[in-house]
Amino acid sequence: MTVTVGRVLLGLYFLMPGLMKAAGPAGTIAYMQSHDIPFTAALMWFATIVNIVGGLFLIFGRHVKFVAYGFVIYILMVNFLLHDFWTMEGDSVAHETQNFVKNLGIMAGLLVLAGSSAARRISLSGWWRSDNMVLRK
């Protein structure tokens, strides 16, 4: 039961920002541009889709191991590209350090979730079924 609650909460952690990005992309694009990220609009929409779809997959228990590892890579990229506190000065340092370390905690939870989840073959067949239904066969 606790793994399920944790999985749902991690899914919400990604789903909600994805929905917020979709509702107001300008702020995210401006933040990415302030860090000299190329192709900001395309990458922002890609991240939005990944957040929403991946968050839903975690919430509903679909391809949990694969999605959790994918989000680990996503967090590493976000941390080093957008929360680069070591390049900042003033009040930004503390704020971005906090975001960086918080993301490490989320990454730890994803790694625990991935490690406690069974591997599932990537296939279009039965993708909508929960991992528990597919793996019990």
Residue with tokens 């929403």: 52
95-132 tens-digit pLDDT: 999 999 999 999 999 999 999 887 766 666 766 666 76
Tally the domains of the chain. Answer: 1
Has residue 134 got a pLDDT over 70? no
Q: Is-contact 72 110, C-beta < 8 A?
A: yes
The DSSP output letter for 87 is G
On whether the CB atoms of residues 96 and 46 are closer than 8 A, the answer is: no
pLDDT in tens, 36-84: 999 999 999 999 999 999 999 999 998 999 999 999 999 999 999 999 9
Q: How far apart are CA 5 and CA 81, in angstroms?
A: 30
Cα(82)–Cα(66) distance, integer angstroms:
24
What pLDDT does 117 receive?
86
Do 14 and 54 touch, CB atoms closer than 8 A? yes
Question: pTM of this prediction?
Answer: 0.86
pLDDT of residue 11: 97
Q: List the structure tokens of 14.
A: 């990604």
The alpha carbon of residue 111 and the mean position of all alpha carbons in its chain are separated, in whole angstroms, by 12
Q: Is the pLDDT of residue 1 over 80?
A: yes
pLDDT reported for residue 128: 63
The pLDDT score that the predictor gives to residue 127 is 63
> CB count, 10 Å around CB of 58?
26
Domain extent for 92 = 2-136
Contact 31, 82 (CB under 8 A): yes
